[in-house]
Amino acid sequence: MARLSSEQQRILLSRDRALLMHRAVTHGCYIRAFSPREQLAYLINRLDLCGKISPFCRCMRCNGELHELESNEILGNLPQRVLEIRERFLRCGQCDHVYWEGSHYQVMKQWISQLCG
């Protein structure tokens, strides 16, 4: 991870202080919090990411890019109720998982709004 972060010019995020002290790490950030929500809130504040984040554009399963589905694309394996009440669907370009703006989306959107004011 230390080598990859250096080669790819990434910031290494970790709770492992020894890893962050590795000489290959040029940019590291120690994450004190345990819960993912607290960790994300810390990072957004610490790295001044509000205004730079693009929520809902990557797949939560594989990190692939999401693309909006055209209305004529087949959505046959989605629940009928979802097809009836939702209009916008996104598909992962790597794993083909389909997302829509359901209740989970609204909760996440509200949380992001609270984090970034």
- Name the residues that contact Zn ion, by CB under 5 A: 59, 61-62, 64, 92, 94-95, 97
Closer by beta carbon to Zn ion, 47 or else 60: 60
Q: Are strands 28-30 and 98-100 parallel, antiparallel or unpaired?
A: unpaired
99: left (phi over 0), alpha (psi -120 to 50) or beta: beta
Q: Quick one: angle between helices 103-116 and 36-46, nearest 10?
A: 40
Q: Which amino acid is at 35?
A: S
Closer by beta carbon to Zn ion, 15 or else 61: 61
Closer by beta carbon to Zn ion, 6 or else 94: 94
Q: Nearest distance from residue 115's CB to Zn ion, in Å? A: 24
- CB 116, CB 107: distance < 8 Å: no
Q: Nearest distance from residue 93's CB to Zn ion, in Å? A: 8
Q: Nearest distance from residue 66's CB to Zn ion, in Å? A: 8
63 vs 68: CA distance, rounded Å: 15
Closer by beta carbon to Zn ion, 50 or else 56: 56
Q: Nearest distance from residue 92's CB to Zn ion, in Å? A: 3
